Amino acid sequence: AQSVTQPDIHITVSEGASLELRCNYSYGATPYLFWYVQSPGQGLQLLLKYFSGDTLVQGIKGFEAEFKRSQSSFNLRKPSVHWSDAAEYFCAVDSGAGSYQLTFGKGTKLSVIP
Amino acid sequence: DAMVIQNPRYQVTQFGKPVTLSCSQTLNHNVMYWYQQKSSQAPKLLFHYYDKDFNNEADTPDNFQSRRPNTSFCFLDIRSPGLGDAAMYLCATSSYSRTGRRQGYTFGSGTRLTVV
């Protein structure tokens, strides 16, 4: 069965520090990959997505992610974190095999220290 | 702007009293989804419509039903809400062709359901 793993449940970083959130998936083929951010009590906002092409994807709010097929990973990065980035981050995968649905990781909660 | 709209944002219902949540979209996407998200958990797919075809997840309780009267609207009906059904309910849309060509997913802001 398809699965998405976000190994870090909670990460704390200082404002201005760099950030990397990890995401690994298990599928046979290249899936469609997404990162969403969710503030408390809010819906999901799409940060970026990868369908094909350049493996380094730029998103909103200064985020980027890199697809590495050999590692089955799609890690999210930001060079300098702002206090407003504190939120829950979800990696999600569409297997592209006719499933027509997203499978989510369990999420990583990001806390930012001023 | 094209978007996915969920109403209401907050819903309080009594234990056992049927409740309906609504979702509308202006994206003309052919697939609509309902997700349940409990506190500090990932969204969990309840069911989805591919056009008019209803697809229920195997572990979705019978207490949950859905209707899609047209392309733009989709409803989530909870027949007899229990305390365990308190959650955020997220509606999402996407566009697929039969050949698998797809667009990304767009989520609504969610409806937070409280059961008292």
What is the average pLDDT value for chain A, to the nearest integer? 91
The reported pLDDT for the residue numbered A53 is 86
Q: Tokens representing B112?
A: 């937070």
pLDDT (tens digit, 9 = 90+) per residue, B58-98? 899 999 999 999 999 999 999 999 999 999 999 999 987 76
The reported pLDDT for the residue numbered A97 is 63
Residue showing tokens 């201005």: A16
The reported pLDDT for the residue numbered B96 is 78
B48: helix, strand or coil: strand
pLDDT-based confidence at residue B42 (cuts at 50, 70, 90): very high
The reported pLDDT for the residue numbered A79 is 97
The reported pLDDT for the residue numbered B91 is 96
How close A40 comes to chain B (CA, Å)? 10
Q: Which of A57, A102, A103 to mutate to test the interface with B (most CBs of B within 10 A)?
A: A102
User: Please, which contacts does B55-59 make with residues 24 or more away whose CB atoms are closer than 8 Å?
Assistant: B55/A100
The reported pLDDT for the residue numbered A41 is 83
pLDDT-based confidence at residue B40 (cuts at 50, 70, 90): confident
Chain B residues whose C-beta sits inside 8 Å of any chain A C-beta: 6, 31, 33, 40-43, 45, 48, 50, 55, 88, 90, 92, 94, 96, 100, 102, 104-110, 112
The reported pLDDT for the residue numbered B93 is 94
Identify the closest residue of chain B to A48 by CA–CA distance: B104
The reported pLDDT for the residue numbered A28 is 65
Report, as an integer, the average pLDDT of A66-92.
96
The reported pLDDT for the residue numbered B101 is 67
Which residues of chain A have a CB within 8 Å of the CB of B6? 43
pLDDT-based confidence at residue A101 (cuts at 50, 70, 90): confident
Identify the weakest region by mean pLDDT among A15-24, A37-46, A75-84: A37-46
The reported pLDDT for the residue numbered B100 is 66
User: Please, which contacts does B62-66 make with residues 24 or more away whose CB atoms are closer than 8 Å?
Assistant: B64/B34, B66/B34
Looking at per-residue confidence, does B2 or B30 come out higher? B30
Q: Do B112 and A41 touch (CB under 8 A)?
A: yes
Buried b (16+ CB within 10 A) or exposed e, A4-16: bebeeeebebeee
- pLDDT tops 80 at residue A1: no
The reported pLDDT for the residue numbered A51 is 87
CB B100, CB A97: distance < 8 Å: no
The reported pLDDT for the residue numbered A95 is 74
